[in-house]
Structure 1
Amino acid sequence: MDIQIEKKKFSKSKIITFAGIALLLFLIIYVIYATSGGAKLAVSKERISISTITNGVFQENIPVSGIVLPITTIYLDAIEGGRVEEKFVEDGAIMKKGEPILRLSNTDLELSLINQETSVYNLLTQMQISQNAARQNTINRLNQFTDVENNLIEAKRLYDLNTKLYEKGAIGRQEYESSVNNYNYQKQRMKLTKEVLQQDSISNKQEIQQAKNSYIRTQSALKLMRKKVEDLVVRAPIDGQLTSLDAEIGQSKNKGERLGQIDVITGFKVRVDIDEHYISRIYTGQKGTFSLNGKQYTLVIKKIFTQVTNGRFQVDMVFENEVPKGIRRGQNLQIQVALSAEKQALLVPKGGFFLKTGGNWIFKLSEDGQSAFKVDIQLGSQNTKYYEVISGLKVGDKVITSSYDSFNEIEQLIIE
């Protein structure tokens, strides 16, 4: 008797088929689950910086570097060229106005001074000779005038006498006419003598004035020449400290060559380099601050040098109130220059995230702090500590501000 064998419901091939389908469904579900919400990355809390969005006082500023300089510097140039014969002080000496620094020699200049002095003395001698001759000439003219005047008086006396005698018939007409002619002659002679004396006086005055003017001009030239020789001794133009003295005994210096400088040590200024990007936002009266020995000081922009060199321009800043004690020429200061007034704003601390995002988005933590998601934001101005938040965040939000270099294409961070 045959035994009927029951047919199996699942064959081996069916089992393999069902297993394959199940595996495919699992993979599909896994992919859907894995891709839902974007790519994720687990990060350690210790490896990231988490900051809180705050509301506070914000002022846009830029960090700059400045060097301390004397408030005033006077340059010493060789007014006249010459050979360095003597140095009275050394570089760094504290000088009083008028004190000698060094002495130059210039034989050509000294010889010119001697010639000029000789010319002045010769001119003075000629003036004295001319004046003496003029005086003598005037005396002679006055003597002649006296003689003519006396002759006129005598002629008039004789004329008056003869007129009376002639009217009485005591003298003849010939004698009377002779006295009339003589009297007229003496009057004409007196008139001419006065004119000559007057012209002579005017001529003498003109000659004296011309000689005087010539003497004054020559004296001025002599004075200028003496000043040039005196300038061979270089003196301190103001009270201050002698710096950068470049002169050695026996060295020749040309006219106009820089010898050194005098720094006024009663005050200081700070010369600051600023990127040309900010040139339109820098103006006189703008303030900056820096800290030294635990104390903050304020500087004010006094002068702007608009010439741009290697992408930077310079400004001079002065201390608004107190000058730090012990500050020295050449000292470097790190200064924060304010570009805007203070205002209330949402603030996010500065960090490495900006290099990757450009301030367009940031990782914001969830409320439980277990994860962080990308959110779009808009940032405004910045200073050395904060960015101003325009939109996308609110007070109390926690964000990741450290570098995003290892977060490429990541949409969500799982914080462990």
Structure 2
Amino acid sequence: MKRVAPAPSSPSTGSNGQDRPLARKPVWRRHLPWVVVLLSAGIVGAWLLSARGGNVYRAPLSQITFGTVKEGPFEDYAAVRGTVAPLITAYLTTDQGGAVKQVLVEDGARVKAGEPLVVLSNPALQLQVAAQQLTFEQTRFKYQQDLLNIEHQISTLRANLARDKILLDGNAIAPSTYLQEQEEYDYYTKLRAATIASRATEQRVRATQLTGDATGKADIANAGVEALTIRAPMDGQLTARDAEVGQSKAQGAVLGQVNSADRFKLSAQIDEYYLGRVIVGQETRFSIDDRDYRAHVSKVYPQVSGGTFKTDFYFDGVAPPGIHVGQAVDLKVELGGASRAVLVPNGPFYQDTGGNWVFVVTPDGRSAVRRNVRLGRRNADYVEVVDGLKPGERVIISGYEAYQKMDRIVFDTDNASP
């Protein structure tokens, strides 16, 4: 006899035939779909924000300057501010130290070469020179005494030789006696020549020690005065005089300078960016009183100080009339010929980015996004675009100091100036 298994009872039916309530789902399982939706929306929003520029800065239009990229001729030159300088400058230095006794010429006066300008006083030096003079005089007396003795011996021997020659011809003396006298005469003759030559050399050395004159023709008696008198080294204008009565000046101190009065050059400090591109001989253009002139690079000083290096320029032809030392002149140093290129207007942005990136205005004109670019040569007006920009695009060319870490700039038209 087979046993039939009872049919399974319904989960909603109890043993007494009544319905049973279903178990409720956990809270986290009921809200999971909404959490997934919100997280997905956040991720998508962050992705969209990143795609549109990441860090965003709102800036009033009144704080921004724009420039339009274009194609045109690029003039390769460096615009610098130069000044008129004297062509030649000679400095007044002290050969000997001392106190300023007299100032004979005022600052700014025209002077002639050799004209005394400043007189110093140095008692110790004057005593030293006096002692050297005494020694010199004693040596000179000794030389004159020695030379007189030599001359006396030569005169005596010359007379003896003349007498003994007659005796020798008459066989009254031996030939060896006459030969001995002849040798002694030759010795004193050579001694006289050597003494005179030694004296001339000694005079030159002592004169150089006392006066600095190697010719030996200097006035040794006035050596101390000359060493303490500062004279103009050339014709010109005395400037930057640094000497007042009573001041103490050390040996080698600079008391001023004499500038060539009517001969000028131009001098300028150029940004170190152009170091290596500015070379001797390059043409330079400038204007004074609405007249155009030309000059050329005469000397480049490679030492960089404060981000600039010094350059000198000589005028082509006669210098402009009426110029004076210290006058400012705007120069255009021609670095190369003109060539066609894609150009962006120059501005403060270049110093902030180094030409590596810019903010480009979006097509709707409401914002600007950061873009990496490659910029090349630049002059005062334009920067050459090597890569990253096309003609017609608009770029922010004002300073980027506030935007260094931004990826997008939104223009605030509400705060714009009317």
Contact conserved, 2:168 with 2:175, CA < 8 A, in 1? no
Give the distance between the partners of 1:233 and 1:259, measured in 2 at CA.
Answer: 12
What is aligned with 1:248? 244
Give the distance between the partners of 2:396 and 2:292, measured in 1 at CA.
Answer: 28
| Segment drifting more, 251-260 vs 42-51 | 42-51
What is aligned with 1:25? none
What is aligned with 1:320? 316
How far apart are 1:203 and its partner, in Å?
A: 0.9
1:239 to 212, 231, 235: 235
Give the distance between the partners of 1:259 and 1:48, measured in 2 at CA.
Answer: 53
What is aligned with 2:275? 279
Aligned residue identity for 1:261: Q
Change (3 A) 1:42 1:145: closer
What is aligned with 2:185? 201
Give the distance between the partners of 1:297 and 1:200, measured in 2 at CA.
Answer: 80
1:331 to 327, 337, 356: 327
Contact conserved, 1:374 with 1:412, CA < 8 A, in 2? no
Deviations 1:136-177 (A, max 9, x none): 233134323433434x2xxxxxxxxxxxxxxxxxxxxxxxxx
What is aligned with 2:107? 91
Where structure 2 has 5 or more consecutive residues not aligned to the other structure, the ranges are 1-40, 213-222
Deviations 1:310-334 (A, max 9, x none): 4443222223345333332233444
What is aligned with 2:136? 116
Query: Equivalent residue of 1:280, what SS?
Result: coil
Query: Equivalent residue of 2:108, what SS?
Result: coil
Query: Equivalent residue of 2:261, what SS?
Result: strand
- Answer yes or no: is 1:139 the counterpart of 2:159: yes
Deviations 1:221-277 (A, max 9, x none): 343356341343332221111222233344444332222221112322333323434
1:68 to 74, 77, 84: 84
Contact conserved, 2:359 with 2:368, CA < 8 A, in 1? no
Contact conserved, 2:86 with 2:263, CA < 8 A, in 1? yes
Change (3 A) 1:295 1:358: farther
Deviations 1:40-63 (A, max 9, x none): 999999987665554432123444
Aligned residue identity for 1:93: A
1:380 to 355, 376, 381: 376
Aligned residue identity for 1:89: V
What is aligned with 1:219? 203
How far apart are 1:199 and its partner, in Å?
A: 0.2
**Greater helix fraction, Structure 1 or Structure 2:** 1
How far apart are 1:122 and its partner, in Å?
A: 3.5
Give the distance between the partners of 2:145 and 2:315, measured in 1 at CA.
Answer: 62
Contact conserved, 2:358 with 2:395, CA < 8 A, in 1? no
Aligned residue identity for 1:131: E
Aligned residue identity for 1:204: Y
TM-score normalised by structure 1 residue count: 0.67
How far apart are 1:408 and its partner, in Å?
A: 6.8
Change (3 A) 1:276 1:235: same
Give the distance between the partners of 2:102 and 2:63, measured in 1 at CA.
Answer: 70
Contact conserved, 1:120 with 1:222, CA < 8 A, in 2? no
Give the distance between the partners of 1:246 and 1:195, measured in 2 at CA.
Answer: 72
TM-score normalised by structure 2 residue count: 0.66
